[in-house]
A and B are shown apart, each in its own frame.
Chain A
Amino acid sequence: MNETSGQVPLEPRVLVLWRIRAGVAVAVASGSCALVAGLTSPAAVTVAIVAIVVLLAGGAAWWWTGLVWRSWRFEVGVHALLLRHGVMTRRASTIPYHRVQHIDLEAGPLERRFRLTTLVLRTASASTDSTVPGIDATDAETLRSQILALVGTGDAT
């Protein structure tokens, strides 16, 4: 993958990761549904309710995570990082490198198993939208040093 050329989508692995997370949430939700339904209704009804919850919530989560993944593009420009994402609310963010205060690379345990990293560019503004989830771990390292080399010195506030 070549970061410097054009608009890059997120790693396809991150979609798998998001769907696993959504699956866990659906499992917890349907488990609690099963508990409540099992205490109040006969077994057949319980099975039906759980099946419907799993199908609806699971399907919605599958579809939505797909939409979110497809909406994502980022571009490491010459002077700024450009992000495009969002399903209902679409955002096109521009973060000029000379405003960057520091760069974070974050990865939870699940992300590490998938060799994924979240890249965050911090500016002096708290409202800056500059989180890129799901970059390949080795690519992220390269990206960080690449951006750090472009970050200017001086007072960014």
Chain B
Amino acid sequence: MAPLPPIDRPRRTSPRGALLAVFGADQLRALFPVLVVAASSGRFLLVIGVAVVLGATYNVASWWRRTWWFADGVLHLDEGVVVRSERRIPVERIQHVEVERKLRHQVFDLSVVRVETAGGSGAELRLDAITVPEAERLRASLAPTAGSAGPGGPGVETGRDPVAGDSVGDDVLVRLPPGRLLLAGITGPEVAAVLAALAVALDLLSDLGVDPDELGQIDATRLGLALAVVVGVPVWLLTAGIVGVVRRWDLTARIVGDDLRVTYGLLRKAEFAVNLTRIQDVRIAHRLLLRPFARVDVRVRTAASGAGQQSRVDIPLLDAIEVDRVLRRVLPAAIPLPRLLPAPPAARRRAVFRGGLAGAGFGALVAAASARFGAVALLAIPAGAVIGVAWGVAAYRGLGAAVAGTTRPVVHSRAGAFTRHHAIVPSLRVQSTAVESTYFQRRRGLASARLDLSGAAVAIVDRGVDDATEVAVAASGVDGNGRKTDEAPASAGASMRSM
């Protein structure tokens, strides 16, 4: 293979990538209205031909105008045919880097590199697509301490080959075997996705002329139900499991230099790389179905723009030892995980009351909707209340919080009735705090603390007012008089401390 051109000179993305862009989602979406116009115009080939020529010209032009380079610690991207944009990202502002290779990229030996910065403006930089060796070199250059910044890069340690750096500090934290991914798929959000797909399929079937009245006949319904249970459920679960396995195939979390790198996927290979100093918070999800197996999902979040999937990576189904191993490297201040303190009894009363009220209200709606069954329908109200109370108790049991450490405290907060989310927030990342109490909370002497993070907020719900205030003070490092706590005498009677 020819040697790579220097990284600090402007260059275009791969021409093969430009060719592949034809199959991108944007282009395919644009194709649909063209097809409609073409079909209705009567000059099908002419319209299609013009559209294809225009589209191809635009693709070539935008590829021609898109250049990128990395020099002096700044990543540059100039692009745009009509509106020119020149994007500059200093390497110290990068939150994380994602390398993505869908099936078509794998076939053509290409990578899509996405560079995320902090802030809510969605200022991301996307290189779609460059060759795999180029992507590897770029990612190594962008790791601020692990590699050299390429020729001419100032202020970075020299004489360290990025590729060699990869193999030296390589430290595998977890690697998930397919069996566990299958379990993750069966118990995870894929189940809902498959169910939605099934619903669409059933909808299509009924559109294809299956008469609902015939389905209404008792024999057919029973047979259908039996079939659905005997065949449908296992097929559904198996599909969800396989989706999970394919999506997260060979999920591996490793430490390379100062980076956490998570690689996964079969058809769509992805690598998520974040500098360990950039990690905002870690969330541990205890899913209801997995609680008996003592398995949890670990979610690592950065300050990248977008509250959604752009700012986080999930490592599913870890046992206690693996969680410990991951946290030890990713957020050392989080371990040992403290025993979380339950919310006060007033919080239980509030949860039960709220749950019961909401359940009874929902039951009343159901009763009103099924009024044709007569007085029996009224049973929905107490039934709803009972379910609501049970839900409230579960929600209360999910609540837990603790403050660990004294100089740079870490706040732990757990909440959730079904899936319990345990958020671990280093006070180093807390932007501001608030202690909030609604009218109903004040009547029970309760308050919630809110910790504002870049791109997210974590709430510690329904604590005593003093406890909520204490959490906020520990997280912000500023006491109620506006003075830093490390300069003021320590408050007496601290009760949220677990260490």
A91 to B434, CA, bound (A): 6
- B453 on interface, CB distance cutoff 8 Å: yes
Q: Given known contacts A99-B431, A124-B119, A129-B432, is B437 in contact with A90 (CB within 8 Å)?
A: yes
Q: How far is the CB of B350 from chain A (nearest CB, A)?
A: 15
Kindly list chain B residues whose C-beta atoms are within 8 Å of the C-beta of A82. 480, 482
In the complex the two chains form, is B455's CB within 8 Å of A125's CB?
yes
Residues of B within 8 A of A91 (CB): 434-436
- Does A65 belong to the interface (CB within 8 Å)? no
Q: Indicate which residue in A75, A76, A96, A157 contacts B118 across the interface (CB closer than 8 Å).
A: A157
Classify the interface of chain A: helix, strand, loop or mixed: loop
B478 at the interface (CB under 8 A from A): yes
> Which residues of B sit under 8 angstroms from A99, Cβ to Cβ?
430-432
Please tell me the number of chain A residues within 8 Å of chain B, measured between CB atoms: 30
Query: What 1/0 mask marks residues of chain A from 83 to 113 whose CB sits below 8 Å from any chain B CB?
Result: 0001011111111100100000000000000
A129: chain B residues within 8 A (beta carbon): 432, 434, 452
Write out the residue numbers on chain B whose beta carbons fall within 8 Å of the beta carbon of A92.
Answer: 434-436, 469, 472
Assess whether A88 is in contact with B482, with CB atoms less than 8 Å apart.
no
Contact of B431 among A75, A76, A86, A124 (CB under 8 A): A124
Interface: A123 (CB within 8 A): yes
Nearest A-chain residue to B302, judged by Cβ: A157
Q: Does A126 contact B (CB under 8 A)?
A: yes
Docked-complex contact B477 and A96, CB < 8 angstroms = yes
Contact A157 B482 (CB under 8 A): no
* Cβ-based interface call for B476 (8 A): yes
Interface string of A43-85 (1 = CB under 8 A from B): 0000000000000000000000000000000011111111000
Verify A89–B432 contact, CB threshold 8 A: no
Whether, in the assembled complex, A130 has its beta carbon less than 8 Å from a beta carbon of chain B, the answer is yes
Q: Is the pair B483, A79 in contact by a Cβ cutoff of 8 Å?
A: yes
Max chain A Cβ within 10 angstroms of own Cβ: one of B431, B442, B455:
B431
Q: Which residue of A lies closest to B453 (CB)?
A: A125
Contact, CB under 8 Å: B439 / A88: yes
Residues of B250-283 at the interface with A, using a CB-CB cut-off of 8 Å, are none
Interface hits, B448-478 → A, CB 8 Å: 450, 452-457, 469, 472-473, 476-478
Q: How far is the CA of A75 from the CA of B473 in the complex (A)?
A: 16
Rounded to whole angstroms, the CA-CA distance of A77 and B442 in the bound complex is 26
Q: Which A110-157 residues sit within 8 Å CB-CB of chain B? A: 123-130, 155-157
Contact B432 A123 (CB under 8 A): yes
- Residue B120 interfacial (CB < 8 Å): yes
> In the complex, are the beta carbons of A79 and B303 less than 8 A apart?
no
Given the complex, which residues of A lie within 8 Å of B478, measured CB to CB? 77, 79-80, 94, 96
